[in-house]
Structure 1
Amino acid sequence: MKQRSVPHLLLLPFPAQGHINPMLKLAELLSQAGFSITFLNTDHNHERLTASPRLRFQTISDGLPPDHPRSGPLLQDIFFSTQLVTKPLFRDLLLSFPQDLPVTGIIADGIMSFAIDVAQDLGIPIFIFRTFSACCLWAYRCIPKLIEAGDLPFEGHDDMDRPIKSVPGMETLLRRRDLPSICRLKDLENPVLQFFVYETFNIARASGLILNTFDDLEAPILSHIGPHFPQLYTIGPIHTLLKTRQGDTQPTDASNGSLWEEDRSCMAWLESRPFKSVLYVSFGSLVVVTRDELLEFWYGLVNSGKPFLWVVRQDLIAGNDGKGEIPAELEGGTKERGCMVGWAPQEEVLAHPAVGGFLTHSGWNSTLESIIAGVPMICWPQLADQQINSRFVSEVWRNGIDMKDR
């Protein structure tokens, strides 16, 4: 009898931390389920990501030169370079696999939908994994409705509390300030706005849509999304699902999905802190701040008199704004009751009994991790889905406060 071949899935994440992390967890879950997995990194990110021995890793160009920063406002260059450069390379890669290891299915990130064209041309089933909230996906899907209703565009920061009533299911919830950040673009022909609208509608061509959420959290919004995506799979929170499947046998060599090296010294620091006494602060992998904003937060943390653990990435401060002396009172207050690291094992931090609150940018991974850990949030949203996530945190799920309301 001919032995049945193991299905071989290729996973294609968008090359940013918040997208790679859940895609890698999905890869680990599928590997546990018996699939052969190839995880496709960009050349730029490959050396920064800890590999898992259970997965096969390959690389592909993101279409940008090696010295491109791939951060801040310039991150959007990847939206267009992948379509122009990565797409044909992706097709060549799929055709290069040996006959005894053909790719039998693809899971691509929701803003890498060029993969749908390639997959359908080659007759390979493809599913899309959208790594942000269902509420943000639905807001993106409703952008044409927002334009038709006259809600978009709007000028600057005028009347940001004006109600937005043209997103079904959110008619009494949203204001201008709660819309995803791309909705603040004044030009409706802006390539970035057009890109997200196109990607959101194009993913309906895939064989199915996977979301990192769960019905008890976003059921009302999922009921609106469902008719547009008949094969809809809510598998979140994926970090909890992976831990549950691993149980007590979690491998020590598993990748943490991080492009930054984690500083685990903060875990020892937390051990010496009282129950629910520490405010954890992290603005994720993409948000940047000015030196003045950094100092304002820093003074607030020190003057609060509470212990704090603060993730300060090497590239957190915009441009060359980080130069200058640190006031002595900040250094002294931090030494007395603070801990600052370049990157932290966030899931472990939020689960630690010493942590009592989370000052967050409201990225979707951070929001889900905080919800599951039962840690209330102080939300400081800046870009992408963060504005709408923070609104749901404060007004729907009631597990935090939204600083853009203050």
Structure 2
Amino acid sequence: MAQPPHVLLFPLPLQGPVNSMLKLAELLCLADLHVTFLVTDYIHARLQRHSSFRSRFDHYPNFQINTVSDGLPEDHPRGDRFIELFDSLRRETQPLFKEMLISSESESRRRVSCIVADGILGFTFDVGNELGIPVFYVRTISACCLWVFFCLPKLIQAGEIPFNDDMDELIKSVPGMERFLRRRDLPSFCRSGNVTDPNIRLYRTECDELPRAHGLILNTFEELEGPILSEIRSLCPNIYTIGPLHTHLKAKLAARGSLQPTFSNSLWEEDRTCVAWLDAQPSKSVIYVSFGSLVNVTNEQYMEFWHGLVSSGQRFLWVIRPDSILNKDSGSRIPDDLSKGTKERGYIVDWAPQEEVLAHPSVGGFLTHSGWNSTLESVFEGVPMICWPYFVDQQVNSRFVGNVWDLGLDMKDTCDRNVVEKMVRDLMEVRKGEFLQRADEMAKSAKRCLVEGGSSYISFERLIKDIGNP
């Protein structure tokens, strides 16, 4: 009897991509494939310290985790200086990756028959191609942002970047977005004013890099991003839309009757006391506030958000990572109105079990940085959003949330207490019914795509078949 394929997964070593790829790893295990999950030593240490991934994957004898060095010192900030991380991965990790694949062939472990890697790690294709191992790419960002990346050479050629004024001028060189994409909605690095910016150099190669792989796996679904997916297929015809990954996994587990208790892939320790607080709040009355794992705010921005939230009169659950506030003035006195308003209507934690929070019946809105995992989790649970994007893909995502999908409000490039107050009131009171209705319609589409015969269900079945016969 033929052995099942042995797939090696290699995520980009940051919270969002690791979270998505662990869910993909479990989906592949449920499909009876053999899976090796390769992470950097730094990420592995964080997972062991804060997540439940070990106990979860103990259920799968066909799963193993391997580690590799990212070549950086322990105290390097990594996410804050992503280009340094990426350069080190290419320089230091690539030869280790190749050596690991070669050595696995001479050991008792089964040879890796397929590589599934983050598409930004182009060296995985180079190594796989050299060793005769097929490679599938995964991109854990939105299709709409990926398409903008694909169009970066066009934007440069047309002279649409760099730019330095009139942030609301429309962009004409991204097919399918000509009517609504503004300069301010481009990925954050496009504001550098310099086409030799390292980020632009990195992402402008995607249109050449991604088509090299056997296929492109995306954490999205056709009903959400269909028109943009059609544009991407002009360059990458073989796309697998298998999202939303977090609920695709839950659906597969439920179908097997093996849905397990709440689990976490977090690199931070979760404070679950917030769930008990939510239990005591009325239905759809709480706005959840979280800016993800990498966003940093100034002390001034922090205070503007706090004033705006309290002045809105709404209940709020706010995630404030200990490392997220720059130059925090711990000695300053908190105004009495903020302290009183927070005690009456707010709850603040260092980190929260986000999927569980967004699914909670008390949550009626999400003030978010528009990271793609957060956006999809909100879409699936039918929670309208206020978007305050930080970097890379989040500017594009927020424009689609606010002006294409009509799932909330885009607050980019603004941090003013009066604006925060007004938008929170609009989302949670003034236009609450309108936003909840639209969010509910999209949530139903997200659920339909995962049932047998749905678009993501079919796409995943095709992926499993193609991994076995690349």
For normalisation by structure 2, the TM-score amounts to 0.82
Contact 1:46 1:59 in 2 (8 A): yes
- Could you say which residue in structure 2 is the equivalent of 1:34? 32
Name the counterpart of 2:226.
219
In the other structure, the counterpart of 2:330 is: 323
CA contact (8 A) 1:113 1:199 kept: no
Find the counterpart in structure 2 of residue 243 from structure 1. Answer: 250
Q: Where does residue 22 of structure 1 map in the other structure?
A: 20
Partner residue of 2:10? 12
CA distance in 2, matches of 1:374, 1:214: 15
Q: Summarize deviations over 1:381-400 as a string: whole Å, max 9, x none.
A: 11011111011111110010
1:48 match: secondary structure: helix
**Correspondence 1:124 to 2:133:** yes
Does the residue aligned with 2:401 lie in a helix, a strand or coil?
helix
2:423 match: none
2:77 pairs with 66, 69, 77, which one? 69
CA distance in 2, matches of 1:21, 1:271: 26
Deviations 1:221-248 (A, max 9, x none): 1111002112111111111111111115
1:110 aligns with one of 89, 95, 119: 119
The letter of the residue matching 2:331 is G
Secondary structure at the aligned position of 2:155 is classed as helix
Matched, 1:355 2:363: yes
Partner of 2:397: 389
Q: In the TM superposition, what is the alpha-carbon distance from 1:329 to its structure 2 partner?
A: 3.0
CA deviation profile, 1:88-147 (whole Å, cap 9, x unmatched): 010011112225411111110121111000000010111000001111000000011111
Query: In the alignment, which residue of structure 2 is the partner of 1:175?
Result: 182
Determine the C-alpha separation between the residues in 1 that align with 2:87 and 2:207. Answer: 15
Aligned residues: 399
Q: Could you tell me which residue of structure 1 aligns to residue 438 of structure 2?
A: none
| Aligned-residue RMSD, C-alpha | 1.5
**CA distance 1:283–1:326, shift in 2 (3 Å):** farther
Deviation, 1:322, is: 4.9
Q: Aligned-pair distance for 1:317?
A: 1.0
Farther off after superposition, 396-405 or 287-296: 396-405
> What does residue 198 of structure 1 align with?
205
CA distance in 2 between partners of 1:237 and 1:324 (Å): 43
2:151/2:207 contact within 8 Å kept? no
* 1:75-154 correspondence runs (5 A): 75-97=82-104, 98-154=107-163
Q: Determine the C-alpha separation between the residues in 2 that align with 1:103 and 1:292.
A: 51
Which AA in structure 2 matches 1:224?
Answer: E
Q: Structure 1 regions of 5+ residues with no counterpart?
A: none
Please name the residue that 1:343 is paired with.
351
CA distance in 1, matches of 2:8, 2:280: 44
Q: Deviations over 1:270-295 (max 9, x none)?
A: 00000100010000111100011011
TM-score w.r.t. length of structure 1 = 0.95
Q: Which amino acid aligns with 1:136?
A: C
- Residues of 2 paired with 1:143 and 1:365: CA distance? 23
CA deviations over 1:10-65 (Å, ceiling 9, x no partner) = 10000111111111100000000001111111111112113222331111111211
Given the superposition, is the C-alpha separation of residues 47 and 326 from structure 1 closer, same or farther in structure 2, using an over 3 Å criterion?
farther
Aligned-pair identity in percent equals: 56
Q: Is the 8 A contact 1:310 1:339 kept in 2?
A: yes
- Inter-partner Cα distance in structure 2 for 1:6 and 1:164: 47
- Provide the rounded CA distance (Å) in 1 between the counterparts of 2:269 and 2:207: 33
Q: Distance in 2 between matches of 1:67 and 1:260?
A: 16
Task: Pick from 45, 48, 52 the counterpart of residue 46 of structure 2.
Answer: 48
- Structure 2 unaligned regions, length at least 5: 415-470
Partner secondary structure for residue 249 of structure 2: helix
Query: In the alignment, is residue 162 of structure 1 matched against residue 162 of structure 2?
Result: no
Structure 1 residue 151, shift from structure 2 partner: 0.5
Contact 1:137 1:200 in 2 (8 A): no
Amino acid in structure 2 at the alignment position of 1:42: T
**Paired position in structure 1 for 2:384:** 376
Letter in 1 for 2:22: L
Alpha carbons 2:207, 2:235 under 8 Å: kept: no
